[in-house]
Amino acid sequence: MKRIQRRSNAALLLALLLLLGTLVLVLRLFLHGGDWAAYNANLELYTSEGILRWGTLTDRSGVLLASSEDGDYRYADDETLRLASLHAVGDYRGFTGSGAIQRYARKLTNYSVLGGSAEERGNVVPLTLDAELQKTAWRALRGRKGCVLVMNYETGEILTMVSAPAYDPLGEPDLSVDGIFLNRALSTAYTPGSVFKTVTICAAIENIPDLYERSFVCKGSMQIAGGTVKCGGVHGKQTIEQALANSCNCTFGTLAMELGGDTLSRYVRKLGFTEAGSLDGYPTAAGSFEAVETQDSYLAWSGIGQHKDLVCPYAMLRYLSAVANGGVVQEPTLLLGNSNGSTRLLREETAAAVDEMMSYTFTTHYGTSGRFPKLDLCAKTGTAELGDGTSHAWFVGYCHTGMPLAFVVCIERGGEGIREAAPVANTVLQKALEIYG
């Protein structure tokens, strides 16, 4: 009798284990089934050449960007659009891993837990990109290395994501071109130069009580422990608004030293610059910020956007979108109709104060040059010196009135921000004004 009891107990235990195993498997199927189905080894979706068999990607108005049907793959008809969108869209051969083809494989292949992979056809997945703006940004870069990002800061929709160099996905990539597979908008961090002053100012507004009452004196350079901070001009006595508009290194070096390395580092991290971010679940590049307090000159240069500062263009876009949107960033997305929620990055009153200063910077400096017809912007230029005589050209900001667009332009070793990056931003925004204004 005891033996029978023992055996039935063992059988019951086995049955329970089997049931538990099945439950775990079903649960994992629900959670990860789409990823498993989209995995490269699933021959139902991928052919031997690694081509995703089904699905169509379009821009926001239905312009075809890429499609695949049982191994036949197509890209945009227009060569400029194919080049401009390579990094955002990807390559069916998998040469670029960060594109929408791979990122949204699950949506494209029409996977469902109950039905498995689609047998007949995939989905049409519209992206937030605007084909016209993509082409305009690509042309405006004129073959230079760099990236252009434009986003609607009220919805989080990315309208433009162009990274150069690229290659035509219908042809073979030129492997001798440095970083041809790299999406510079998402996967690189650059020395920011003066665009970083928009970050330092945020910490100063919240931590230096008499910031607005003070006057900052610039004699063209400043002697501090460990070296000299040189300024681009001799700015004399300035208010803080004037100092940002003048992009005064002496003022921002002073602010960084007063704030201290710990406070500044805390803000840089809190505003999303040092850690890797995410675009629809795809990880973006982390930046770096190292404020060494033992040497004042290092700390000063850190607050000016030099020293060891590195910023991912995507992180800058998120920060500016938050400033434009009352301190809250609508998390970016490339999928039309999708929302990734929102995050408060900075206090509403701080965002308003940064906004006011960036608006002042634009209206008193860049806006008077006639470079930006019909545009009312909040903006900042950057000429990030690399120590070898070259510099990255930056122009970042957002539309203050009119369209709710934030933008980042960075041209690698492109020279002066106002001369090289600003015209690219203007060209793209003029096109946006034509389409959406």
Q: Smaller CB distance to Zn ion: residue 251 or 359?
A: 251
**Residue number with CB closer to Zn ion (252 or 362):** 252
317 near 141, Cβ under 8 Å? Answer: no
Rounded least distance, CB 196 to Zn ion, Å: 16
Residues 6+ apart with CB under 8 A from 400: 355, 359, 362, 376, 377, 378
Q: Which stretch binds Zn ion (CB under 5 A): 25-33, 55-63, 227-235, 409-417?
A: 227-235
231 binds Zn ion (CB under 5 A): yes
Site for Zn ion in 249-278 (CB under 5 A): 250
Q: Which residue in the set 248, 255, 256, 312 belongs to the binding site for Zn ion (CB under 5 A)?
A: 248
The owner of tokens 């994992």 is: 28
Number of neighbours of residue 60 by Cβ within 10 angstroms:
16
**For Zn ion, which is the closer residue by CB, 109 or 246?**
246
Measured CA to CA, the distance from residue 311 to residue 63 in angstroms comes to 32
CA dihedral 198, 204, 205, 206 (to 10 degrees): 120
For the CB of residue 234, give the shortest distance to Zn ion in the complex, in Å.
Answer: 7
| Total residues at interface with Zn ion (CB under 5 A) | 5
Query: Which backbone phi and psi does 178 adopt, to 5 degrees?
Result: -65, 125
Q: Is 235 in the site for Zn ion (CB under 5 A)?
A: yes
From candidates 38, 101, 162, 218, binder to Zn ion by CB under 5 A: 218
**At its nearest, how many Å lie between Zn ion and the CB of residue 244?**
11
Q: Rounded to whole angstroms, how far apart are CA atoms 87 and 127?
A: 13
Q: Taking CB under 5 A as the rule, does residue 197 contact Zn ion?
A: no
> Where does this chain touch Zn ion (CB under 5 A) — which range of 36-44, 113-121, 213-221, 336-344?
213-221
CB of 194 to Zn ion, least distance (A): 11
Q: Which is nearer to Zn ion, 98 or 200 (CB)?
A: 200
20 to 13, 23, 25, 101, 118: CA distances (angstroms): 10, 5, 9, 36, 29
Give which of 215, 366, 391 is closest to 306, Cα–Cα.
391
300 lies in the site for Zn ion, by CB under 5 A = no
Residues found near Zn ion in the complex (CB under 5 A): 218, 231, 235, 248, 250
